[in-house]
Amino acid sequence: MELVVTLAMLGLIAAMAMPVGELVVQRQREQALREALRDIRTAIDKYKLASDQGMISRKAGDSGYPPDLETLARGQPNQRSAGKDTMVFIRRIPRDPFNPDRAVPAALSWKVRSSSSPPDNPAPGADVFDVLTSAAGVGLNGVPYSEW
């Protein structure tokens, strides 16, 4: 009888611990998302600043934003440097922690928004103005992931 009571208590404790474990995993993924978004957006801003300062060559009519995420990691030659040193804006493109397909390259795991698309309807285009997660749903802070 004591064994049955002990097993029942262990089952109850395990059932109460499951939601806490899921919450910890979600919090870790959200933290990884915040860091990845901050890193990529900072790299996009650095690229735009370098372009505006004439360090990156661009054609007439270009926005000055990178054409794709890979360009941030691959780098661009510095037009103001005598040796045309390569300027790299991010070491590697982080993967979207909410994208379930691990076969997709990290740069393609994100939704991208071009500078010509409206904020309420982000769409890809000739450049990368911003990145968004592909996750649907709402974060622990109550804000939809699509608005992060």
Give residue-wise pLDDT tens across range 95-121.
Answer: 999 998 889 999 999 999 999 998 888
Tell me the residue range of the domain where 115 lies.
2-147
Q: What is the pLDDT of residues 25-42, one digit of tens each?
A: 889 999 999 999 999 999
What DSSP character marks residue 117? S
Q: 99 near 111, Cβ under 8 Å? A: no
Q: Does 48 score more than 90 pLDDT?
A: yes
The percent of residues above 70 in pLDDT, for the chain, comes to: 97
The neighbour count for residue 6, using CB atoms within 10 Å, is 10
Task: Give the chain's domain count.
Answer: 1
32: tokens are: 């990884």
3-state secondary structure 60-105: CCCCCCCCCCHHHHHCEECCCCCCCCEECCCCCCCCCCCCCCCCCC
- Say how far apart CA 65 and CA 127 lie, in whole Å: 6
Q: Tokens at residue 61, please?
A: 């009519």
> Quick one: pLDDT at residue 20?
66
Mean pLDDT of the chain: 89
Contact criterion met (CB below 8 Å) for 146 and 137: no
